[in-house]
A and B are shown apart, each in its own frame.
Chain A
């Protein structure tokens, strides 16, 4: 009906006052050039040298120029806005640079140590200093998978139960338990190792095996799973719970058939974060597993190798070959973590059954 009021041929062209005009673009280019010039100038004059100096000074100079330009043209609020935008943009670059650098380093240094043998042989007849093409890390992969799986089997149920207690039951102990879980997340990995040492190795078993490492990992994993699950469950709207109860569900059915399915993707994420927390955990494994060089499927008997321990050993040995082995180990560990991570993301992103 309103179409009849405005004749078609006089419809104004849609204006985008926020879009950058060509004048703005030229100004931006000028700012870039000025910032680059300043960075060259300062590097020439002061003791700051190298690529890092150029990047840093360029960034700072750009922010300052942006601030000044905005101050002159649009006043103080706009200038502050520009300053803050500059800061957060810089922060995200600083946050992402190490990731890219780490990934590149691992690929570049790790692939030298990768060869087909690596997944079919262990180190029982090879020393760290032998040529990289001999031996492999089969024992380490098997050890890590077994230990992480066992740790998951213990800590995922406990973690999720804790989260359900905190969000659904909210019993008498809810506050203290929330407090303790928070405290538990601060338990350093080495302390978990020492604890298993004090509680299990010295009084009972007197020797090192995989299960001990696995228990230490489980201790580290519980708070991560519990906290993340709790956060996820808190985000589930109360309406859903009320609807469940209103339909005649007991609390047990409401939680299991309404709340948990609604939070499924988040709970999977919690699990993954837990596994990510422990997959590369080195300190307790160094204390507890004995780090054997032979493939060992028995978690209850004999030293058990693991990827972190393998990397640790290679790095500390310090020769070219052993450090290359360590990087190859990291490469494999990282690929494992990435695959897991991708799978979790895929599962987590899938729509939950309605």
Chain B
């Protein structure tokens, strides 16, 4: 090895050895800018959520202050305007309980119907479907995710209504002994049950595509190991796919729940919105917080708008709590699953 081959061409005064390159973990200027920008972008969600909370609290404070706890537990909503056209705070009552219950009931129906269907469909598409069918179905379901919510509303009103009534009638006939399905007058249309059905269909694409993505990531070696041990497809799914995908599927279901709780227009279109506490899902009256806000907003006086802002605040907080709970469950399920 001669030095002339390895060394770079000698510069005029290269008799001394070049200084050692300094190694550093300090980020360069470009990296600092990059990190700053990205962190700023990342923090924007914090800022936006904080602003939403702050502004809704600011606008709704007077109502929350005057109603106190009764805003959540009470179920009267009367904005009284006296003869002079002035808002009368003494006789006005704002209590959100009826609509909170309605929100819970409708979203629960939606999740109970929608999630099993979605997870089943996801499993079929991942583990059963032949490739050609799979491609087509996946495209179709992804497409459904792009359908606007008002389309579901109109479709629910004009098309699903009749089948919904049909199922409602059956539920009443055969399961009428369960208190939820009790009803006095046989008038089945525009009920929370039908609203729940529409929402169930609305959350199918999201839950399906998330579950499908998770199922398709099931490690192939474990699948083949299960088959090699003589498992049937169901045994393989139960032993390998379910534990692997559990957290992701729960995450998808929670996302569906969140969407079902906040849905406004589809519920407004399908449901006969009546301000009352209604546990009986087949009776043609009910509502959820979001659709109630939309319904009352049009002809609301400034004072009632403040109450609606407070209602929005409650809805916001409830959905935040649901999502946080979902996060916790997912985190825990993820640990046990792998």
Contacts and interface: CB of A to CB of B under 8 A. Distances in A.
Interface in B175-230: 201, 204, 208, 213
Contacts of A327: 154
A352 interface: no
Given A182-B327, A341-B146, A188 B263 contact: yes
B131 interface: no
Given A95-B141, A202-B59, A334 B293 contact: no
Interface stretch (B70-78, B85-93, B308-316): B308-316
Interface in B302-338: 308-309, 312, 315-316, 319-320, 322-324, 326-327
Nearest to A314: B154
B163 interface: yes
Contact of B320 (A95, A157, A186): A186
Contacts, number: 288
Contacts of B320: 183, 186
Contacts of A315: 150, 153-154, 157, 269
A283 interface: yes
Contacts of A72: none
**Which of B140, B155, B326 has the most chain A CB atoms closer than 10 A to its own CB?**
B155
B232 A81 contact: yes
Given A48-B170, A92-B124, A180-B49, A98 B201 contact: yes
A162 B153 CA distance: 33
A105 B201 CA distance: 16
A283 B290 contact: yes
B315 A188 contact: yes
Contact of B324 (A81, A179, A252): A179
Given A198-B59, A282-B150, A102 B264 contact: no
Interface in B104-140: 116-121, 123-125, 128-129, 137, 139-140
Main secondary structure of the interface of B (DSSP, over half): helix
Interface stretch (A3-11, A125-133, A166-174): A166-174
Nearest to A333: B148
Given A161-B37, A188-B263, A250-B30, A194 B308 contact: yes
**Which of A48, A94, A283 has the most chain B CB atoms closer than 10 A to its own CB?**
A283
Contacts of B153: 315
B48 A102 contact: no
Interface residues of A, number: 96
Interface stretch (A12-20, A31-39, A206-214, A273-281): A273-281
Interface string B144-177: 1111111111110111100100110110010000
B150 to A, nearest CB: 5
Contacts of A166: 42
A342 B43 CA distance: 33
Contact of B56 (A87, A180, A198): A198
Contact of A161 (B41, B144, B261): B41
A113 interface: no
B56 A195 contact: yes
Interface stretch (B3-11, B94-102, B233-241, B271-279): B233-241
B44 interface: yes
A187 interface: yes
Contact of A311 (B129, B154, B173, B255): B154
A165 interface: yes
Contact of A169 (B35, B141, B143, B258): B35
B178 to A, nearest CB: 17
B46 A176 contact: yes
A183 B324 contact: yes
Main secondary structure of the interface of A (DSSP, over half): helix
Contacts of A270: none
Given A191-B262, A198-B56, A251-B31, A96 B150 contact: no
Contacts of B51: 195, 199
Contacts of B204: 95, 98
A191 B120 contact: no
B141 A106 contact: no
B140 to A, nearest CB: 5
Contact of B316 (A81, A95, A188): A188
A186 B258 contact: yes
A99 B232 contact: no
Given A78-B232, A173-B39, A280-B148, A162 B45 contact: yes
A161 B234 CA distance: 41
B55 A91 contact: no
B200 to A, nearest CB: 9
A23 B124 CA distance: 26
A77 interface: yes
Contacts of B323: 182-183, 185-186
Contact of B232 (A80, A223, A273, A276): A80
Interface string A195-206: 101110010000
Nearest to A330: B151
Contacts of A199: 51, 55
A164 interface: yes
Contacts of A95: 117-118, 121, 141, 204, 208
B12 interface: no
Contacts of A292: none
Nearest to B144: A99
Interface string A138-165: 0000000000000000000110111011
Contacts of B119: 91
B40 interface: yes
A15 B152 CA distance: 50
A247 interface: no
30 contacts: A52-B167, A88-B123, A95-B204, A98-B144, A102-B151, A102-B152, A102-B159, A106-B155, A161-B40, A162-B44, A176-B46, A177-B42, A182-B327, A184-B49, A188-B264, A190-B290, A190-B293, A191-B290, A194-B309, A195-B51, A198-B59, A279-B148, A281-B149, A282-B148, A283-B264, A315-B269, A327-B154, A334-B148, A337-B147, A338-B143
Given A308-B150, A333-B151, 19 more contacts: A80-B234, A85-B234, A91-B117, A91-B124, A92-B120, A96-B121, A96-B141, A161-B41, A162-B44, A164-B41, A165-B42, A183-B327, A188-B290, A194-B312, A219-B48, A223-B45, A250-B30, A282-B265, A312-B150
